[in-house]
Structure 1
Amino acid sequence: MRVLPILVSTLWLAACGAPPAPSTVSPGAAATAATTASDDPRSASADADAPLPEFPAIPLIVVPEILGVTPAQRALEASMAAVLDPMQGVSVAPARCGSDGVLVNDAGITSVDAAGNLIRNGDEGLFQINADGSGTARFEGGLVTIEADGSGTINGTIGEGEDALVQVEADGAGTYNGPAGLIVLDGKGGGTWNGDSGLIQINGDGSGTWNGPQGLVTVNADGSGSWNGEASLVVNHGDGTGMVGTPGREVAMAPLPKVPPAGRFPPLRRFAPPGAPCGYLITLNDRVLFDFDRSEIRADAADVLDTLARALGGTRARAVEIGGHTDAKGTDAYNQALSERRAAAVLAALRARGLDVEAEAIGYGETRPVAPNAVLGQDNPGGRQLNRRVEILVRT
């Protein structure tokens, strides 16, 4: 950025001073002095040709990235993945899948009603999420409230180790008080930002002020303005003229461009349990169907399979995926083979009972646990029991 050297102000004062008093200097010496003065680059003519200082531009008000419900979402997902399902035997729960169609484990959801409203209360916090994405989250990172129109408040964590108070309205107005400073936006192009770069005020009509490291900059909507800073005082009249310095010298000066309007707060991202609804998940503990370390279905599992086959026949399933899962005891290769045999055995049993929808059997081995196989380096039998299971994903 070009600025007018301080030297210019000093020379301007010298050029505007009183003329020297008569002296006894000889005509030759006077001529020499006149020649020297006319050749001096610091003369008034040279001063008139000096480059004009360039007005600093008032910075745009930049809204920091607001992660919104992302920390709450992380806490929710951690809660859903970590809590053990106390039920043994057969359980049915809504299934959610990622964008790739892969099932997302959600056995820890406390309740999801018929309208899609979710409530989860656990060690990680209290989550109340409505089907339209609105809701509240009280967790270790703070309190988040989101409305369906994108408005809401965040009081607490917005990023890694960063806390803030954010209030956002549906029209983009709001306030942010956090690591970036204090930002207030009216949603109509006006706003203020008080932060490390000073105090910025944008009025939305092309005018604004900036009191910061460069000094005090004022821009009016008619193209006039002033800058009191590095170049002493610069005044722009907005009519093609201006003044530089104190006392000022008249100069040609283009009107100042309008200050762009301030932005708006983006809508807060709505809550959503991980993944999208994709059907139902039926979980069968391995002891319901199999003896320990075996893949032949137990004879007394016939009633369970009969009931299951009838239930599947009455659903509007477009596809069924039968997944076999093991705990982590044993080698990866052994567990993979066992899970494949068990999944295939369940599919064969359901086919024999009249299942006629598209279906496939997949073995996942120990790769998709729903509970820790070990805790603090110690064996976790309860967790391993939950991991030994057959899951039937009914895609609807």
Structure 2
Amino acid sequence: MRISGWLLATACALVVAACGKDRAAEGVPEAKPDRTASPASAAADNEADNEADTDTETSADRAAADAFPAIPLIVVPEIVGVTPAQRALESSMQEILDPIAGISVSPARCDAGGGLVRDAGITSVDAQGNLSRNGDGGIFRIAADGSGSANFEGGLVVVNRDGSGSINGGEDGDDDAIVRVEADGSGSYNGPAGMITLDAKGAGTWNGEGSLIRNNGDGSGTWNGPLGLVTINNDGSGTWNGPQGLIRNNGDGTGQVGTPARTIKMEPLAKVPPAGRFPPIKKFAPPGAPCGYLITLNDRVLFDFDKSDIRADAAKVLDTLAGALKDIESGGAQSGGMEIRGHTDAKGSDDYNQSLSARRADAVVEALQQRGAADDASAKGYGESLPVAPNEIGGQDNPGGRQLNRRVEIFVRS
């Protein structure tokens, strides 16, 4: 019977070991084993050397292995958005006031201090709650469900009802970004934070300043950045080529460090967490927080030119308006009070316009209270200080804008 090479090599190794013991007992120096005796014996010796290296790792080796970096998460920067849309109109008010020319109802927005937010612009709202606004903040087209578009200085934002949409530019030139977001959370971002792409299934890339991160979505990924090149596989293995040289993790509890490479104990690497998703783009609303609604009366509805006495033929308008306000009060919608606000255009002196606007506001409060409404209303004149349209355009008189500025507003908090 022929003896296999492996058995023969094993038998020879046992014989050599036994002879070594006998010769040592006799005081004869032990002969070193012949590492070239066979491939099998060489492999066995190398394995023994590796085990010896693992057992004698240095503190520097351990520090290098423990410093193996994790691949950073892909962080989606804050995306420009606005608060959810407020219900555009108080339906019971709208049904009553729609037929009356010169009166409009619109949502009221307030700043953090509770002050009414108004910019120089024109807002219109239809019976379905679709809003159009052209003012200092830009041109807005907003549907009742919050979808729409905003074209403002430096950017264009489009939002769809499912949360998808796009942002091109920003209010601040330093924050310009091009963002594309799909309803499933996939999309792309190209802006100050770099270039980010996400597939909504856990994979993505982030190419930022001096750093490229690739997440494969299966627990593996790469990071080429300030610490060098890091590769992590989804079986716990990986490599790090950085300031410590090349470190290799085998994923089986061992790894190699240093030059020449030394094998040491090394825990398998943790998998790379999946990348996140882009948040839905927030739906539109005019600036500020919802705080009630604003009833605007053109000055021609109630007053003659440059007068503060309510015209006799305005009685029907006031009767209808008072009835609507009483309906709202009885329904519990009003809880924060009511302010009657007088405004003028920029013709005449500031003092005169202030006085005229205050007298007109007082006249409206008195007329409504005579009709049993607006019991807790206050009156205030703002003169020409809060225009909703330009009084002049390019240094030329703007009669249409001045007409819009001559108005009385009823601000109903809710």
Asked if Structure 1 and Structure 2 have the same fold, meaning a TM-score greater than 0.5 normalized by the shorter chain, the answer is yes
SS in 2 for 1:204: coil
Distance 1:117 1:95 in 2: 11
Match of 1:208 in 2: 221
Over 3 Å counting, the alpha-carbon distance change for 1:373 and 1:245 in structure 2 is: same
Is 2:280 aligned against 1:284?
Answer: no
Higher gyration radius (CA): 2
Is 2:373 aligned against 1:356?
Answer: yes
Superimposed CA distance per residue, residues 51-104 of structure 1 (whole angstroms, 9 cap, x where no aligned partner): 43121232221212221469xx9xxxxxxxxxxxxxxx9332324232676544
Distance 1:395 1:220 in 2: 59
Match of 1:90 in 2: 102
The count of residues paired between Structure 1 and Structure 2 equals 330
Distance 2:374 2:175 in 1: 51
Superimposed CA distance per residue, residues 238-258 of structure 1 (whole angstroms, 9 cap, x where no aligned partner): 232211134311112232233
Distance 1:356 1:261 in 2: 60
Over 3 Å counting, the alpha-carbon distance change for 1:189 and 1:364 in structure 2 is: farther
Is 2:248 aligned against 1:235?
Answer: yes
Over 3 Å counting, the alpha-carbon distance change for 1:257 and 1:158 in structure 2 is: farther
Once the two structures are TM-superposed, the CA of residue 237 in structure 1 deviates from its matched residue by 1.6
Once the two structures are TM-superposed, the CA of residue 132 in structure 1 deviates from its matched residue by 0.7
CA-based RMSD of the aligned residues comes to: 3.8
Match of 2:131 in 1: 118
- TM-score, with structure 1 as normaliser: 0.69
Distance 1:235 1:276 in 2: 58
Superimposed CA distance per residue, residues 141-170 of structure 1 (whole angstroms, 9 cap, x where no aligned partner): 344321122111223337434433311122
Superimposed CA distance per residue, residues 9-54 of structure 1 (whole angstroms, 9 cap, x where no aligned partner): xxxxxxxxxxxxxxxxxxxxxxxxxxxxxxxxxxx99984434312
- Unpaired runs of 5+ residues, structure 2, are 1-52, 86-100
Over 3 Å counting, the alpha-carbon distance change for 1:127 and 1:259 in structure 2 is: same
Over 3 Å counting, the alpha-carbon distance change for 1:310 and 1:287 in structure 2 is: closer
Amino acid at match of 1:363: K
Amino acid at match of 1:323: R
Distance 1:389 1:110 in 2: 14
Q: 2:328 aligns with which of 317, 320, 332?
A: 317
Match of 2:314 in 1: 304
SS in 2 for 1:317: helix
Identity of aligned residues (%): 56
Q: 2:183 aligns with which of 170, 190, 195?
A: 170
Distance 1:388 1:119 in 2: 21
Once the two structures are TM-superposed, the CA of residue 335 in structure 1 deviates from its matched residue by 5.5
Q: 1:264 aligns with which of 271, 274, 277?
A: 277
Over 3 Å counting, the alpha-carbon distance change for 1:65 and 1:339 in structure 2 is: same
Amino acid at match of 2:361: A
Alignment of 1:52-67 (within 5 A): 52=62, 53=64, 54-67=67-80
Contact 2:156 2:168 (C-alpha < 8 Å) held by counterparts: yes
Amino acid at match of 1:364: G
SS in 1 for 2:170: strand
Q: 1:368 aligns with which of 372, 383, 386?
A: 386
Over 3 Å counting, the alpha-carbon distance change for 1:314 and 1:65 in structure 2 is: closer
Distance 1:111 1:327 in 2: 20
Once the two structures are TM-superposed, the CA of residue 234 in structure 1 deviates from its matched residue by 0.7
Contact 2:153 2:171 (C-alpha < 8 Å) held by counterparts: no
Distance 2:298 2:199 in 1: 55
Over 3 Å counting, the alpha-carbon distance change for 1:118 and 1:286 in structure 2 is: closer
Contact 1:158 1:164 (C-alpha < 8 Å) held by counterparts: no
Once the two structures are TM-superposed, the CA of residue 232 in structure 1 deviates from its matched residue by 2.0
Contact 2:229 2:240 (C-alpha < 8 Å) held by counterparts: yes
- TM-score, with structure 2 as normaliser: 0.66
Once the two structures are TM-superposed, the CA of residue 383 in structure 1 deviates from its matched residue by 5.6
Once the two structures are TM-superposed, the CA of residue 392 in structure 1 deviates from its matched residue by 2.9
Amino acid at match of 2:366: A
Amino acid at match of 1:317: I
Distance 2:107 2:192 in 1: 39
Contact 1:242 1:250 (C-alpha < 8 Å) held by counterparts: yes
Alignment of 1:1-396 (within 5 A): 48-52=58-62, 53=64, 54-68=67-81, 90-98=102-110, 102-105=115-118, 108-109=121-122, 111-120=124-133, 127-157=140-170, 159-274=172-287, 275-276=289-290, 278-285=292-299, 288-289=302-303, 292=306, 295=308, 297=309, 301-314=311-324, 316-318=327-329, 321-326=339-344, 329-330=348-349, 338-352=356-370, 354-366=371-383, 367-372=385-390, 386-393=404-411
